[in-house]
Amino acid sequence: MSGSGRFSGQVAFITGAARGQGRAEAVKFASEGADIIAVDVCAEFDSTSYPGATRADLDETVRLVEEAGRKIVASVADTRDFEGLSAALKAGTDAFGRLDAVIANAGICTGRMSWEITSAEWQEMIDVNLTGTFNTAKAAIPYLIEQGEGGAMVFTSSESGLKGTPFTAHYSATKFGIVGLAKTMANELGEHKIRVNTVHPAGVRTGMDMSADMNPLMDKYAHTLSPIFMNSLPYEILEAEDVADVVAWLCSDEAKYMTGVRLPVDFGNSNR
């Protein structure tokens, strides 16, 4: 695998890296010269209908990064656990000696009508998606400030962080919350040349298979809600690599003057 080398000598910290977008991002950055600090919880969640990532999935990410010719420090850690997450990041920075890019990607999703979401489902969604993103940034920012060379952070939001997507009130709340967090941090960190942006994908072909939750709801309410899900471009689903390309660009010098940006990768869905 070859790349442009635009991240040569740099280190990227990626959460949710065992599969899907996180794995694609790890491979993308590695193919362009970066070493990787990878984290994933590698566990099941109480509220999701799809299987969680496994240690074998994370090991495959390790293999692919090494196949791309780069080094990787991969840890099983939960982004909800600030101390454990911080220890995983320290293991990586101790090994590589620096930090340049932070991709807060870990997240979960379930589909429910808003008033049918249980308190436990709501809390798990908030804890994983929003608190986990906050913990990732909180752990990484002191490294970037002390290093004194700037840096880039990208938080994975969603098209559901731009519009009121039906059946995902708890998920949408976290993804809108991520935007507020990123915009505030972009303002606070600008003086340190640390950029903070959000990326907003449409549906992505990953291990997060929502069909068991969403298909019955889509069938039941298609007569009133289906136009909300329409795309402007004639495509239906993204590949994880499509999102990784955009995240890498946001972290590169090609986007060095961009911060506080909400960047959709959604076939024009949020334009509807």
Q: Which residues pair with 11 in a beta bridge?
A: 35
| Stretches in the chain below the pLDDT threshold 70 | 1-4, 209-210, 214, 218, 222-228
Query: In one letter, which amino acid is 221?
Result: Y
Sign, CA torsion 186/188/190/194: negative
Best CATH choice for the domain 11-262 from the list 3.10.20.30, 3.40.33.10, 3.40.50.720, 3.40.50.150:
3.40.50.720
Choose, from 143, 171, 235, 257, the residue flagged as catalytic: 171
Domain ranges of the chain: 11-262
Beta bridge partner(s), residue 14 = 38, 103
Question: Per-residue b/e over 62-80, b at no fewer than 16 CB within 10 Å?
Answer: bebbeebebbbbbbbbbbb
CB 232 within 8 A of CB 197: no
**What is residue 222's predicted lDDT score, i.e. its pLDDT?**
67
Any catalytic annotation for residue 235?
Answer: no
Neighbours of 193 (CB within 10 A): 14
Please state the φ and ψ torsions of residue 232, each to the nearest 5 degrees. Answer: -80, -40
pTM for the full model? Answer: 0.92
CA distances from residue 29 to 7, 72, 241, 262 in whole angstroms, order as listed? 7, 11, 11, 21
pLDDT of residue 1: 38
User: What's the distance, CA 54 to chain centroid?
Assistant: 17
Total residues found in the chain within this entry: 272
Q: Residue 132 region, left (φ>0) first, then alpha (ψ -120 to 50), else beta?
A: alpha
